[in-house]
Structure 1
Amino acid sequence: MSSSMIRVLAHIVASPGKEAALQAVLLELIQPTRQESGCLAYELWQSPANPTQFVFVEAWASEAALNAHLISAHVEQAFLASADFLASPPEIYQYQLLA
């Protein structure tokens, strides 16, 4: 594992009743993102206890790869398509491996 690897947790909350619509938008991100250079892992999870809560668990080879992802056309399109389905803006947290 490279010390420059970045792990990302992106927490996304749907407005009540909009879970299925948001899920459809988020699922569309998976295939193009996994094909991006520097994408090591990209998984979408949903809370069984609270189905309005989604989280992307991501691993990127570098901060540059993550930054390229964040400005990609498919991410921009997903932000626009999901705007009416979100309870709040996504919370995106980045982590670096310490040991």
Structure 2
Amino acid sequence: MSKQIHAVARLIAFPNKVEEAKALLLELVEPTRKEVGCLQYDLLQNQEDPTDFTFVEKWESQESLDAHLASEHIQSAIAKLPELIASGPDIRRYTLLDS
């Protein structure tokens, strides 16, 4: 049985593109939450630095995360990101140790 995967994906928007980046990233939340294997998918914005966005995710398995990354809505967003973000996405994957 595959272990759950926890992922954190951080992106830094250009200061003059914060609202555009926010709108694009928010468009990902609803369709992603409907994906098979998605247990949690939350978008956060740093209170002290509004250019800093982070997704906090939990997936049933590595396979479900891989399917998410290959999905049409994610691939479409990735194509638009270069004009909106200064750095990222920095995607880190974790497994829970105490379960």
Q: Do both proteins adopt the same fold according to a TM-score greater than 0.5, normalized to the shorter chain?
A: yes
Post-superposition Cα deviations, 1:14-65, rounded to whole Å, max 9, x if no partner, equal: 0111110000000000111000000000000000100000000000000000
Q: Count the aligned residue pairs.
A: 98
Q: TM-score, normalised by structure 1?
A: 0.95
**Superposition pairs of residues 1-99 of structure 1, within 5 angstroms:** 4-99=3-98
The residue matched to 2:15 in structure 1 has which SS? coil
The residue matched to 1:33 in structure 2 has which SS? helix
Post-superposition Cα deviations, 1:63-99, rounded to whole Å, max 9, x if no partner, equal: 0000000000000011112220110231000000011
Structure 2: any 5+ residue segments left out of the alignment? none
Q: 1:3, CA displacement in angstroms?
A: 6.5
More strand, by proportion: 2
For residues 70 and 7 of structure 1, what CA distance do their matches in structure 2 show? 14
Structure 1: any 5+ residue segments left out of the alignment? none
Q: Which ranges of 4 or more aligned residues in structure 1 deviate by more than 4 Å?
A: none
Q: TM-score, normalised by structure 2?
A: 0.95
